[in-house]
Each structure stands twice: as structure tokens, then as C-alpha cells.
Structure 1
Amino acid sequence: MTELRQEIEAALPRAHERFVSLVRSVDPASAVRTVPACPDWSAADLVAHVLTVYRRALGDRRRSATPEETAALNAQCLAETPERGLAALADLLDADGPASFAVLRSFPDDLSFRFHGGTRTTVTPVSAVILGEVLIHGYDLAEATGSDWAITPDEASLVLHAANLPGPDGLPPLFTMWLEPGGETLLAATAATGDPVGALTTLYRRTAPTTPELVALAGYLRPL
């Protein structure tokens, strides 16, 4: 097992516990608040989406065939997850999150499997995607509800380093599915950036870029 994989696998449950604590701390009346970064979602929708992310490592094997189909699949999975009570969602997250992490830990380093956007990946990049989802959606939930949430530079760096790992069978890094052709070298620059949190939030289209390499990278982000 690689050192990067070990670090991500240690970071995932810590970020998960923080996210669940945040969900439990939110006033139930705030569940209907709109998420600024995802205006079609309420705060409760956002939390339910994170639950569906965990469940894709469990029994849900559906994957989008193209980057453009990912949003439609997200919407379908969300519609199939009717719970919107924050306390109940926190309980479901606490059950399915650790179970999904255990599944990922069982995979060999070099196992190649389907992922969204019609690509393939291995366990370390996909674990980093899940870590990124928890970190970014914690940021979103805090923004929607006036709560506190911090992404640490170490956490962001783990996601960015995994974002640059080559894909299996000669495929490009997994995170390049979010970029227009030509953005691969700019993605590589994020692994050495002095602002890993800013790079992560730029990559997820949450904040404006803060450095020249992030400005260049932002120009290659695919439209959502």
C-alpha cells in the first residue's frame, strides 16, 4: 500500500466525523436553506448527496458514461434517496460512511474499475474524490447554514496529489475528466502549489483562483 493511500485512508474518517458533527449541529429549520454553490439543492439535499456518494462504494454500481451525464446521475440518485431529516441523514451517514471506507480499503492498489465520465480509476484516486466531496460539501453546508468549516492544507494536498496520479492502462489522471483538453499539465502544477486549499476550491469551482497557475487552470474547467 502506498504512503499516499494510507494518508488518504486515515484522513477520510476524520473528515467524515467532522462532516457528521456539522450535520448534527445544524438547526433542523435550516435544512431547507439553499446551497449557494448548488442553487438547485437545499442543505438537506446536499447532505443526502454525500450519502449517495458513500453508497456508490457499497451496492450502487451505476456510473456516468460521459462527464456531462454525471449531473443527471447525481439528480437521479438524489431523487431515490427521500430522507431529508438532518438527524436521520446523520445516522445514515454514520452507518454507510465507515462501511464504504472498509470496502475501499479491501481493494488492491492496482485494481482497475469503472468511474464516472466513462473513465477508469484505481482505489487511491477514487478515495481522494470521496475525501474531496466531504471537504467541499462541508464547506457548502457551512456556507448555506452560517456554520464553521475549515479545510486544512494537509487535507487539500492529499486530494491534489492523488488528482495527479496516472490512471490505469495508460489513462490520464482521474481528475482530468473535469478539464477541457490541454489542462493536464496545469492540473499537475496544483500538486506543488503554495495554496492547496485555494487550488482545491478552485478545482471544485467554489472560489476564484488565487495564483497564476490557478488562474490558468480555471480556464480549462469544464462547464457544470
Structure 2
Amino acid sequence: MGTVTTFDPVIEHEKTRAALAAAVPRLVRLLRDAPDPDAPSGVPVWSVGDVGAHLAAVYLAYCAVVSADESVEWDGILPPGDLPFVERVTAMNATSVALFAGEARARLGEFVAERGETFLRVTAGLAPDTPVTAPWYGEGATLTVAVVTGLMLSETLVHGLDIARGARLPWPIGPDEASLVIGQSMPTMMRLALDAEKARGVSLAFDLVVKGGPRLAVVVDGGAMTVTRDAPPRAYDCRITVAPTTFLLVSFRRTPTWKAVAWGRMRAGGRRPWLAARLGELVATP
């Protein structure tokens, strides 16, 4: 069945905070060094400047939900109605790019630096399980400060790569950083992003083994998904063993699965290894 690992949520949260604190100055330098904000980015529909604007909006949003000193008029930003997850996030992404246009884009680096410092200062000392509202995910939606910190790190790393690809600048993502994102935010976000239509009638259990990182039990049943760390031994349909940075980039569609397999950084095993591709199909992305 494999070894069950354990983790300390407080220690891992502090490591995530430290990783974010180190990543923010890197992102600020990248935003300042990108030579052409109109160049195509790693996101096909966005320019380098668009990705920077989206990141600034992300930093603004997360600061607004943890700091009483920040204010966002959500009524003019949030999409109307009860949209499915992907449609809601897609609408929010389009809105985020438009929030920072014209002259505001000349200060993206400064804005990200200021809001990054604010987020880390305001959340210092908060317990990892402190609830945080997340209105962009739906009315009454809440996350924990640990998940939010992991999401901030995720957005910084992945969209930093999108900018770097467009600017032709280096942007390494280390395995420790990727492991923290996977452990802190993905158990929650994979569940939220489940494609309910594709999950209807599906009953599958995946053993997701991240090399040097977290081990996740991903179970889809009854139209819902549970993602559990440190799950007790059980029978799985499929085991997926993957390098942490590879899983991060495959999950966000920045690296094709076939390439990860060809490079030897992802492999499937267990009783029904051919089911590995189903996991990516079941978790929707905007």
C-alpha cells in the first residue's frame, strides 16, 4: 500500500510564507525587466502586460480579504449569478486584466511589491486554519489562510513563468516551492474544480505520490471529490508518481502530460494505470 507520511500544518504553512516572501521580489524584478509588455505570454490570449495585470489583481483581491485597510467594491467586479466554477473563474480572469490598464501597468511591479508585503504582514501569526472569505469563488465561499497563501504562491510561480516565457527570461520553479503549492492549496482547489458533469457516475481512487512532497488520496465518488493528505492505507485504482514541479505545470496545462511522461517525470502504476489520464479530465481548468 505504500508508506503513509505525516506533516505539521504549522511548519508547512510557515515554509509556504517564506517561499512566498522569496518569490515576490523575484516577480517584481521580472515585471520590471520584461522588455515588451505587449509581447505574447505563456497564456495564449494574454500579453505579458495582461499577465502582470492579472497578478496585480490577484494580489489586490487577497489583500482585500485579509486586511481591513484594503477595500474592493466586489459588486462591480464579481460575475452575476451562480456560475459553475470554470465559468466563474474565467469571467473573473477577464475582469482582472481590465482592472489595471493604461498608465497603471507602468507600476505593476511596485503594486505587487506593496501588496505582497501587506499580505505577509497582515497574516503573520494567524493560524493556518483561520477562515478567509473568497467571494470570487461564489457567495459565502471561504478558504483557510493556509490555502490562500498557497494560492498566492501558486499564482506567483505559474504566472511568473507565463511572463518569463513571453519575455524570454529565466524563471526557475524549484521542487520545494512546487511541493508547498501542491500540499497547501491543491487538496482544496482540486475538489472545487471538479467537473461535476464528467464526474457523474464515476467511482475512482487515485494514489498521487509527489516525489519528495505530499502524498494525496484523491477519491471521486457520488459526483464529488475528496483529497486527503496522510490517508490511511487503502486500495487504489491507479497510482501516479510525479516530480513536484512537473505536477504543478501539468495541472495548470503549462506542460503537456505526454511530455512529462516522455521525460520520465511522471508515471502511472497500480491495478489500472491506464486511468491516470482521467484525473486531469475530471479536474476542470479555466
TM interval, short-chain normalised: 0.7 to 0.9
> How far apart in 2 are the matches of 1:34 and 1:187?
37
> How far apart in 2 are the matches of 1:22 and 1:148?
9
Mapping for residues 72-111 of structure 1, pairs under 5 Å:
72-83=91-102, 87-105=106-124, 107-111=126-130
Q: Does 1:41 align with 2:46?
A: yes
In structure 2, the CA distance between the partners of 1:20 and 1:223, relative to structure 1 (3 Å rule), is closer
Q: What is the aligned partner in structure 2 of residue 58 from structure 1?
A: 63
**SS in structure 2 of the partner of residue 109 of structure 1:** coil
**Residues 183 and 220, structure 1, Cα contact 8 Å, conserved in 2:** no
**Residues 39 and 47, structure 2, Cα contact 8 Å, conserved in 1:** yes
> How far apart in 1 are the matches of 2:251 and 2:203?
11
Q: What is the aligned partner in structure 2 of residue 207 from structure 1?
A: 255
Structure 1 runs (4+) greater than 6 angstroms displaced: none
Taking structure 2 as the reference length, the TM-score comes to 0.66
Q: What is the aligned partner in structure 1 of residue 90 from structure 2?
A: 71
Taking structure 1 as the reference length, the TM-score comes to 0.83
1:144 to 156, 166, 171: 166
**SS in structure 1 of the partner of residue 284 of structure 2:** coil
Q: What is the aligned partner in structure 2 of residue 175 from structure 1?
A: 190
In structure 2, the CA distance between the partners of 1:80 and 1:26, relative to structure 1 (3 Å rule), is closer
The two structures, once aligned, show a CA RMSD in angstroms of 2.7
Q: What is the aligned partner in structure 2 of residue 32 from structure 1?
A: 38
Mapping for residues 18-29 of structure 1, pairs under 5 Å:
18-27=26-35
**Residues 164 and 188, structure 1, Cα contact 8 Å, conserved in 2:** no
Larger Rg computed on CA atoms: 2
Q: Which moved more, 1:182-191 or 1:120-129?
A: 182-191
> How far apart in 2 are the matches of 1:88 and 1:46?
14
1 or 2, which has the higher helix percentage? Answer: 1
**Residues 112 and 122, structure 1, Cα contact 8 Å, conserved in 2:** yes
> How far apart in 2 are the matches of 1:99 and 1:32?
29
> How far apart in 2 are the matches of 1:164 and 1:222?
13
1 or 2, which has the higher strand percentage? Answer: 2
Q: How many positions carry a matched residue from both structures? A: 214
**Residues 187 and 217, structure 1, Cα contact 8 Å, conserved in 2:** no
> How far apart in 1 are the matches of 2:107 and 2:203?
41
**Residues 41 and 166, structure 2, Cα contact 8 Å, conserved in 1:** yes
**SS in structure 1 of the partner of residue 37 of structure 2:** helix
Cα offsets for 1:29-57 (capped at 9, x unmatched): x1101223x22211011111111111112
Q: Which moved more, 1:10-19 or 1:60-69?
A: 60-69
Deviation at 1:146, TM superposition (A): 1.0
> How far apart in 2 are the matches of 1:42 and 1:146?
13
Deviation at 1:186, TM superposition (A): 4.1
**Matched residue type, 2:27:** F
In structure 2, the CA distance between the partners of 1:194 and 1:80, relative to structure 1 (3 Å rule), is closer
Deviation at 1:142, TM superposition (A): 1.0
Deviation at 1:187, TM superposition (A): 8.1
**Residues 57 and 104, structure 1, Cα contact 8 Å, conserved in 2:** no
In structure 2, the CA distance between the partners of 1:194 and 1:73, relative to structure 1 (3 Å rule), is closer
